[in-house]
Amino acid sequence: MEYTTLGDTGLEVSRICLGCMSFGTSEWRDWVLDEEESVEIIDRAVDLGINFFDTANVYSKGESERVLGTALDGRREESVVATKVYGDMREDDPNSGGLSRKAIEQELDASLDRLGMETVDLYQIHRWDDDTPIKTTMRALDDAVRRGKVRYLGASSMWAHQFADALATSDRLGTDRFATMQNHYNLAYREEEREMLPLCARANVGVIPWSPLARGFLTRPAEDIDATTRGESERRMYEHPYREGGGIEVNERVEELAAEKGVKMAQIALAWLLHRDEVTAPIVGTTSVEHLEDAVEALDISLSGSEMDYLEEPYEPVRVSGHE
Ligand SMILES: NC(=O)c1ccc[n+]([C@@H]2O[C@H](COP(=O)([O-])OP(=O)(O)OC[C@H]3O[C@@H](n4cnc5c(N)ncnc54)[C@H](OP(=O)(O)O)[C@@H]3O)[C@@H](O)[C@H]2O)c1
Protein backbone atom coordinates (compact mmCIF):
# COMPACT_ATOMS: atom_id res chain seq x y z
CA MET A 1 0.00 0.00 0.00
CA GLU A 2 1.09 3.55 -0.65
CA TYR A 3 0.36 6.20 1.95
CA THR A 4 0.15 9.95 1.57
CA THR A 5 -0.45 12.96 3.80
CA LEU A 6 -4.06 14.11 3.97
CA GLY A 7 -3.99 17.85 3.19
CA ASP A 8 -2.36 19.69 6.05
CA THR A 9 -3.58 17.28 8.76
CA GLY A 10 -0.30 15.38 9.14
CA LEU A 11 -2.36 12.17 8.94
CA GLU A 12 -0.98 9.43 6.72
CA VAL A 13 -3.73 7.74 4.73
CA SER A 14 -3.74 4.92 2.19
CA ARG A 15 -4.02 6.16 -1.39
CA ILE A 16 -7.16 4.08 -1.70
CA CYS A 17 -9.95 5.05 0.67
CA LEU A 18 -12.68 2.42 1.11
CA GLY A 19 -16.16 3.88 0.58
CA CYS A 20 -18.70 2.32 2.92
CA MET A 21 -21.93 3.41 1.21
CA SER A 22 -22.28 -0.19 -0.08
CA PHE A 23 -22.17 -1.62 3.46
CA GLY A 24 -24.99 -1.81 5.99
CA THR A 25 -28.30 -3.31 4.97
CA SER A 26 -29.89 -4.34 1.69
CA GLU A 27 -33.16 -2.98 3.10
CA TRP A 28 -31.79 0.49 2.28
CA ARG A 29 -30.78 -0.21 -1.34
CA ASP A 30 -30.84 -3.62 -3.03
CA TRP A 31 -27.14 -3.37 -4.00
CA VAL A 32 -25.96 -2.78 -0.40
CA LEU A 33 -24.34 -5.68 1.47
CA ASP A 34 -25.58 -6.89 4.84
CA GLU A 35 -23.26 -7.05 7.84
CA GLU A 36 -21.43 -10.35 7.35
CA GLU A 37 -20.44 -9.71 3.72
CA SER A 38 -19.57 -6.07 4.50
CA VAL A 39 -17.21 -7.11 7.30
CA GLU A 40 -15.50 -9.55 4.95
CA ILE A 41 -14.63 -6.72 2.56
CA ILE A 42 -13.51 -4.36 5.32
CA ASP A 43 -11.30 -7.15 6.74
CA ARG A 44 -9.68 -7.68 3.35
CA ALA A 45 -9.15 -3.92 3.00
CA VAL A 46 -7.29 -3.87 6.31
CA ASP A 47 -5.17 -6.86 5.17
CA LEU A 48 -4.29 -4.94 2.01
CA GLY A 49 -3.06 -1.99 4.07
CA ILE A 50 -6.07 0.30 3.57
CA ASN A 51 -6.36 2.46 6.69
CA PHE A 52 -8.81 5.09 5.39
CA PHE A 53 -12.60 4.52 5.50
CA ASP A 54 -15.43 6.83 4.48
CA THR A 55 -19.01 6.50 5.66
CA ALA A 56 -21.95 8.83 6.45
CA ASN A 57 -24.77 8.84 8.96
CA VAL A 58 -27.34 8.51 6.18
CA TYR A 59 -25.83 5.39 4.55
CA SER A 60 -28.24 2.56 5.35
CA LYS A 61 -29.73 4.98 7.90
CA GLY A 62 -26.84 4.50 10.30
CA GLU A 63 -26.16 0.81 9.62
CA SER A 64 -23.06 1.58 7.55
CA GLU A 65 -21.47 3.35 10.53
CA ARG A 66 -22.46 0.53 12.88
CA VAL A 67 -21.04 -2.17 10.59
CA LEU A 68 -17.81 -0.22 10.03
CA GLY A 69 -17.38 0.29 13.79
CA THR A 70 -17.91 -3.44 14.39
CA ALA A 71 -15.46 -4.42 11.64
CA LEU A 72 -12.74 -2.10 12.96
CA ASP A 73 -13.20 -3.11 16.59
CA GLY A 74 -9.75 -3.84 18.03
CA ARG A 75 -7.91 -2.00 15.24
CA ARG A 76 -9.52 1.36 15.67
CA GLU A 77 -6.32 3.17 16.47
CA GLU A 78 -4.65 2.16 13.22
CA SER A 79 -7.59 3.43 11.15
CA VAL A 80 -8.58 6.84 9.86
CA VAL A 81 -12.39 6.97 9.91
CA ALA A 82 -14.42 9.64 8.15
CA THR A 83 -18.16 10.17 8.46
CA LYS A 84 -20.64 12.88 7.46
CA VAL A 85 -23.58 14.95 8.66
CA TYR A 86 -26.33 16.84 6.80
CA GLY A 87 -28.93 14.41 5.46
CA ASP A 88 -32.19 13.91 7.35
CA MET A 89 -31.92 10.94 9.70
CA ARG A 90 -35.54 10.76 10.85
CA GLU A 91 -38.53 11.58 8.64
CA ASP A 92 -40.56 12.99 11.53
CA ASP A 93 -37.73 15.19 12.87
CA PRO A 94 -36.80 18.20 10.72
CA ASN A 95 -33.84 18.94 13.05
CA SER A 96 -32.22 15.56 12.36
CA GLY A 97 -30.64 17.03 9.21
CA GLY A 98 -28.92 20.21 8.08
CA LEU A 99 -25.94 21.90 9.71
CA SER A 100 -27.49 23.78 12.65
CA ARG A 101 -25.65 23.55 15.97
CA LYS A 102 -28.42 21.25 17.23
CA ALA A 103 -28.17 18.88 14.25
CA ILE A 104 -24.38 18.76 14.39
CA GLU A 105 -24.21 18.10 18.14
CA GLN A 106 -26.98 15.49 18.21
CA GLU A 107 -26.07 13.69 15.01
CA LEU A 108 -22.36 13.59 15.87
CA ASP A 109 -23.17 11.88 19.18
CA ALA A 110 -25.40 9.40 17.35
CA SER A 111 -22.65 8.68 14.78
CA LEU A 112 -20.04 8.12 17.51
CA ASP A 113 -22.42 5.72 19.30
CA ARG A 114 -22.98 3.69 16.15
CA LEU A 115 -19.26 3.67 15.30
CA GLY A 116 -18.45 2.66 18.88
CA MET A 117 -15.84 5.43 19.01
CA GLU A 118 -15.21 8.38 21.28
CA THR A 119 -13.58 10.41 18.54
CA VAL A 120 -13.98 10.36 14.79
CA ASP A 121 -10.92 11.24 12.72
CA LEU A 122 -12.63 13.26 9.99
CA TYR A 123 -16.10 14.82 10.33
CA GLN A 124 -17.46 16.11 7.03
CA ILE A 125 -20.42 18.23 6.07
CA HIS A 126 -22.19 16.21 3.36
CA ARG A 127 -23.65 19.29 1.61
CA TRP A 128 -24.01 23.06 2.11
CA ASP A 129 -26.93 24.19 4.27
CA ASP A 130 -28.60 27.32 2.91
CA ASP A 131 -30.62 27.71 6.12
CA THR A 132 -27.70 27.93 8.55
CA PRO A 133 -25.07 30.69 8.40
CA ILE A 134 -21.66 29.15 7.79
CA LYS A 135 -20.25 30.85 10.89
CA THR A 136 -22.74 28.93 13.08
CA THR A 137 -21.72 25.67 11.46
CA MET A 138 -17.98 26.41 11.77
CA ARG A 139 -18.33 27.32 15.44
CA ALA A 140 -20.33 24.14 16.20
CA LEU A 141 -17.76 22.01 14.33
CA ASP A 142 -14.87 23.74 16.09
CA ASP A 143 -16.50 23.05 19.47
CA ALA A 144 -16.74 19.37 18.53
CA VAL A 145 -12.97 19.40 17.88
CA ARG A 146 -12.29 21.15 21.20
CA ARG A 147 -14.48 18.62 23.05
CA GLY A 148 -12.32 15.82 21.64
CA LYS A 149 -15.13 14.28 19.59
CA VAL A 150 -13.63 15.10 16.19
CA ARG A 151 -9.99 15.30 15.08
CA TYR A 152 -10.30 17.03 11.70
CA LEU A 153 -13.05 18.71 9.68
CA GLY A 154 -13.97 18.06 6.06
CA ALA A 155 -16.50 19.20 3.49
CA SER A 156 -18.18 17.56 0.52
CA SER A 157 -19.72 18.67 -2.76
CA MET A 158 -20.62 22.36 -2.97
CA TRP A 159 -19.78 25.36 -5.17
CA ALA A 160 -16.20 26.62 -4.92
CA HIS A 161 -17.45 30.06 -3.83
CA GLN A 162 -19.19 28.41 -0.85
CA PHE A 163 -16.05 26.48 0.08
CA ALA A 164 -13.94 29.65 -0.20
CA ASP A 165 -16.48 31.37 2.08
CA ALA A 166 -16.21 28.54 4.64
CA LEU A 167 -12.39 28.66 4.64
CA ALA A 168 -12.38 32.46 4.98
CA THR A 169 -14.98 32.30 7.76
CA SER A 170 -12.91 29.90 9.87
CA ASP A 171 -9.79 32.03 9.32
CA ARG A 172 -11.73 35.12 10.43
CA LEU A 173 -13.21 33.40 13.49
CA GLY A 174 -9.96 31.64 14.37
CA THR A 175 -11.72 28.25 14.33
CA ASP A 176 -10.55 24.95 12.92
CA ARG A 177 -11.04 24.86 9.15
CA PHE A 178 -11.92 22.24 6.59
CA ALA A 179 -8.88 20.11 5.82
CA THR A 180 -10.48 18.01 3.08
CA MET A 181 -12.85 18.25 0.13
CA GLN A 182 -14.80 15.14 -0.87
CA ASN A 183 -16.07 15.96 -4.35
CA HIS A 184 -17.52 14.32 -7.44
CA TYR A 185 -14.59 13.73 -9.74
CA ASN A 186 -13.72 11.05 -12.26
CA LEU A 187 -12.71 10.71 -15.94
CA ALA A 188 -16.36 11.11 -17.00
CA TYR A 189 -17.10 14.11 -14.74
CA ARG A 190 -14.35 16.77 -14.55
CA GLU A 191 -16.15 20.04 -13.89
CA GLU A 192 -14.26 20.26 -10.56
CA GLU A 193 -11.10 21.11 -12.50
CA ARG A 194 -12.44 24.62 -13.18
CA GLU A 195 -12.63 26.12 -9.67
CA MET A 196 -12.69 23.60 -6.83
CA LEU A 197 -9.44 21.73 -7.47
CA PRO A 198 -7.30 24.87 -7.94
CA LEU A 199 -8.83 26.29 -4.74
CA CYS A 200 -7.99 23.09 -2.84
CA ALA A 201 -4.41 23.11 -4.15
CA ARG A 202 -3.96 26.73 -3.10
CA ALA A 203 -5.40 26.12 0.38
CA ASN A 204 -3.55 22.78 0.86
CA VAL A 205 -6.85 20.96 1.25
CA GLY A 206 -6.78 17.16 0.74
CA VAL A 207 -8.93 15.99 -2.18
CA ILE A 208 -10.78 12.69 -1.79
CA PRO A 209 -13.05 12.17 -4.83
CA TRP A 210 -16.32 10.23 -4.53
CA SER A 211 -17.63 7.91 -7.24
CA PRO A 212 -14.13 7.71 -8.81
CA LEU A 213 -15.46 5.01 -11.15
CA ALA A 214 -18.51 7.10 -12.09
CA ARG A 215 -20.70 4.72 -10.10
CA GLY A 216 -19.56 1.83 -12.31
CA PHE A 217 -19.86 3.66 -15.68
CA LEU A 218 -16.06 3.49 -16.12
CA THR A 219 -15.80 -0.20 -15.20
CA ARG A 220 -17.41 -1.76 -18.28
CA PRO A 221 -18.45 -0.82 -21.83
CA ALA A 222 -21.29 1.71 -21.80
CA GLU A 223 -23.72 -0.75 -23.43
CA ASP A 224 -23.21 -3.19 -20.51
CA ILE A 225 -23.99 -0.74 -17.71
CA ASP A 226 -27.17 -2.60 -16.73
CA ALA A 227 -25.22 -5.82 -16.21
CA THR A 228 -25.12 -5.56 -12.39
CA THR A 229 -27.81 -5.10 -9.74
CA ARG A 230 -26.53 -1.62 -9.00
CA GLY A 231 -26.19 -0.72 -12.68
CA GLU A 232 -29.76 -1.81 -13.27
CA SER A 233 -31.36 -0.14 -10.31
CA GLU A 234 -29.38 2.92 -9.34
CA ARG A 235 -31.08 6.11 -10.44
CA ARG A 236 -28.01 8.31 -9.94
CA MET A 237 -26.03 6.40 -12.51
CA TYR A 238 -28.45 7.87 -15.05
CA GLU A 239 -28.90 11.28 -13.45
CA HIS A 240 -25.19 12.14 -13.59
CA PRO A 241 -24.11 13.34 -17.05
CA TYR A 242 -21.63 10.50 -17.64
CA ARG A 243 -22.97 9.77 -21.13
CA GLU A 244 -23.13 13.43 -22.11
CA GLY A 245 -20.33 15.48 -23.67
CA GLY A 246 -17.65 13.02 -24.73
CA GLY A 247 -18.59 10.43 -22.06
CA ILE A 248 -19.19 7.51 -24.39
CA GLU A 249 -15.86 8.10 -26.15
CA VAL A 250 -14.07 8.38 -22.80
CA ASN A 251 -15.60 5.02 -21.86
CA GLU A 252 -14.37 3.51 -25.18
CA ARG A 253 -10.85 4.87 -24.68
CA VAL A 254 -10.71 3.45 -21.14
CA GLU A 255 -11.71 0.06 -22.59
CA GLU A 256 -9.13 0.33 -25.37
CA LEU A 257 -6.24 1.28 -23.05
CA ALA A 258 -7.23 -1.41 -20.54
CA ALA A 259 -7.08 -4.04 -23.31
CA GLU A 260 -3.72 -2.71 -24.52
CA LYS A 261 -2.23 -2.92 -21.02
CA GLY A 262 -3.96 -6.19 -20.09
CA VAL A 263 -5.71 -4.63 -17.07
CA LYS A 264 -9.31 -3.86 -16.18
CA MET A 265 -11.22 -0.73 -17.15
CA ALA A 266 -11.76 0.12 -13.46
CA GLN A 267 -8.00 0.03 -12.96
CA ILE A 268 -7.35 2.48 -15.81
CA ALA A 269 -10.01 4.87 -14.44
CA LEU A 270 -8.46 4.72 -10.98
CA ALA A 271 -4.90 4.96 -12.27
CA TRP A 272 -5.89 8.17 -14.10
CA LEU A 273 -7.16 9.71 -10.84
CA LEU A 274 -4.11 8.50 -8.91
CA HIS A 275 -1.89 10.27 -11.48
CA ARG A 276 -3.67 13.62 -10.99
CA ASP A 277 -1.54 15.79 -8.70
CA GLU A 278 -4.62 17.29 -7.00
CA VAL A 279 -5.95 13.93 -5.80
CA THR A 280 -5.04 12.60 -2.36
CA ALA A 281 -7.07 9.36 -2.34
CA PRO A 282 -10.10 8.26 -4.38
CA ILE A 283 -12.96 6.77 -2.33
CA VAL A 284 -13.70 3.46 -4.02
CA GLY A 285 -17.07 1.73 -3.63
CA THR A 286 -17.31 -2.02 -4.11
CA THR A 287 -19.26 -5.06 -2.99
CA SER A 288 -16.61 -7.59 -4.03
CA VAL A 289 -13.24 -8.62 -2.66
CA GLU A 290 -11.98 -9.10 -6.21
CA HIS A 291 -12.88 -5.52 -7.16
CA LEU A 292 -11.25 -4.23 -3.99
CA GLU A 293 -8.06 -6.05 -4.97
CA ASP A 294 -8.32 -4.54 -8.48
CA ALA A 295 -8.38 -1.07 -6.89
CA VAL A 296 -5.24 -1.73 -4.87
CA GLU A 297 -3.46 -3.15 -7.93
CA ALA A 298 -4.27 0.05 -9.82
CA LEU A 299 -1.58 1.72 -7.72
CA ASP A 300 1.02 -0.19 -9.77
CA ILE A 301 -0.24 1.03 -13.15
CA SER A 302 1.86 3.70 -14.75
CA LEU A 303 0.28 6.02 -17.33
CA SER A 304 2.45 8.13 -19.61
CA GLY A 305 1.68 11.78 -20.33
CA SER A 306 0.33 10.84 -23.77
CA GLU A 307 -1.88 8.10 -22.28
CA MET A 308 -3.29 10.63 -19.78
CA ASP A 309 -3.95 13.03 -22.67
CA TYR A 310 -5.60 10.30 -24.73
CA LEU A 311 -8.00 9.49 -21.90
CA GLU A 312 -8.80 13.14 -21.24
CA GLU A 313 -9.16 14.38 -24.82
CA PRO A 314 -12.80 13.47 -25.61
CA TYR A 315 -14.19 15.15 -22.47
CA GLU A 316 -16.49 18.10 -23.07
CA PRO A 317 -18.01 20.36 -20.40
CA VAL A 318 -21.22 18.99 -18.92
CA ARG A 319 -23.84 20.30 -16.49
CA VAL A 320 -22.78 20.47 -12.85
CA SER A 321 -23.82 17.36 -10.99
CA GLY A 322 -23.37 16.14 -7.43
CA HIS A 323 -24.51 19.11 -5.38
CA GLU A 324 -27.11 20.54 -7.73
N1 LIG B 1 -19.92 12.77 -0.51
C2 LIG B 1 -20.86 12.33 -1.31
O3 LIG B 1 -21.83 13.03 -1.61
C4 LIG B 1 -20.75 10.95 -1.87
C5 LIG B 1 -21.59 10.54 -2.94
C6 LIG B 1 -21.42 9.25 -3.44
C7 LIG B 1 -20.47 8.39 -2.90
N8 LIG B 1 -19.67 8.80 -1.85
C9 LIG B 1 -18.59 7.95 -1.29
O10 LIG B 1 -17.84 7.42 -2.36
C11 LIG B 1 -17.80 6.00 -2.28
C12 LIG B 1 -17.75 5.40 -3.67
O13 LIG B 1 -18.85 5.83 -4.42
P14 LIG B 1 -19.65 4.92 -5.43
O15 LIG B 1 -19.80 3.54 -4.90
O16 LIG B 1 -20.84 5.69 -5.84
O17 LIG B 1 -18.75 4.95 -6.73
P18 LIG B 1 -17.63 4.19 -7.52
O19 LIG B 1 -16.56 3.72 -6.65
O20 LIG B 1 -17.33 5.17 -8.59
O21 LIG B 1 -18.41 2.98 -8.22
C22 LIG B 1 -18.83 1.84 -7.58
C23 LIG B 1 -19.33 0.89 -8.66
O24 LIG B 1 -18.22 0.45 -9.43
C25 LIG B 1 -18.19 -0.97 -9.44
N26 LIG B 1 -16.79 -1.42 -9.37
C27 LIG B 1 -15.86 -1.09 -8.46
N28 LIG B 1 -14.68 -1.70 -8.74
C29 LIG B 1 -14.90 -2.43 -9.84
C30 LIG B 1 -14.07 -3.30 -10.62
N31 LIG B 1 -12.79 -3.51 -10.31
N32 LIG B 1 -14.62 -3.90 -11.69
C33 LIG B 1 -15.93 -3.70 -12.03
N34 LIG B 1 -16.76 -2.91 -11.33
C35 LIG B 1 -16.24 -2.27 -10.24
C36 LIG B 1 -18.92 -1.39 -8.20
O37 LIG B 1 -19.44 -2.68 -8.41
P38 LIG B 1 -19.22 -3.85 -7.32
O39 LIG B 1 -20.04 -3.45 -6.16
O40 LIG B 1 -19.71 -5.04 -8.07
O41 LIG B 1 -17.76 -3.89 -7.02
C42 LIG B 1 -19.99 -0.33 -8.08
O43 LIG B 1 -21.12 -0.66 -8.85
C44 LIG B 1 -19.06 5.64 -1.47
O45 LIG B 1 -18.95 4.39 -0.82
C46 LIG B 1 -19.11 6.77 -0.47
O47 LIG B 1 -18.23 6.52 0.60
C48 LIG B 1 -19.83 10.08 -1.34
The string of pLDDT tens digits covering residues 2-29 is: 999 999 999 999 999 999 999 999 999 9
Would you please indicate which residues are annotated as catalytic (active-site) residues? 59
Q: Which residues line ligand 1 at a C-beta cut-off of 6 Å?
A: 19-22, 54, 126, 156-157, 182, 210-216, 219, 228, 230, 264, 266, 283-288, 291, 294
Site to probe by mutation for ligand 1, drawn from 210, 280, 299 as the one with most ligand atoms within 8 Å of Cβ, is: 210
> Which residue, judged by its Cα, is nearest atom 30 of ligand 1?
291
**Segments of the chain scoring below 50 in pLDDT:** none
The string over 104-113, giving b where at least 16 C-beta atoms fall within 10 Å of a residue's C-beta and e elsewhere, is bbbbbebbbe
Integer Cα distance of 274 and 280 in angstroms: 8
> Which residue, judged by its Cα, is nearest atom 44 of ligand 1?
19
Beta bridge partners of 180: 154, 206
Q: For helices 63-71 and 35-47, what crossing angle results, to 10°?
A: 50
> Which residue, judged by its Cα, is nearest atom 23 of ligand 1?
216
Beta bridge partners of 150: 120
Measured in residues, the chain has a length of: 324
- Give the per-residue pLDDT at 61: 97
Integer Cα distance of 57 and 107 in angstroms: 8
Whole-number Å distance, alpha carbon 215 to ligand 1 midpoint, is: 5
Burial class of residue 312 in the structure, from the number of CB atoms within 10 Å of its CB (0-12 exposed, 13-18 middle, 19+ buried):
middle
CATH H-level superfamily of 3-312 = NADP-dependent oxidoreductase domain (3.20.20.100)
Integer Cα distance of 37 and 24 in angstroms: 9
Say which amino acid occupies 46. Answer: V
Q: What DSSP line would sit under 56-114, residue for residue?
A: -TTGGGGHHHHHHHHHTTT-GGG-EEEEEE-S-S-TT-GGGSSSSHHHHHHHHHHHHHH
Integer Cα distance of 118 and 130 in angstroms: 30
Integer Cα distance of 76 and 79 in angstroms: 5
- Give the per-residue pLDDT at 238: 73
> Which residue, judged by its Cα, is nearest atom 41 of ligand 1?
286
Site to probe by mutation for ligand 1, drawn from 182, 238, 283, 321 as the one with most ligand atoms within 8 Å of Cβ, is: 283
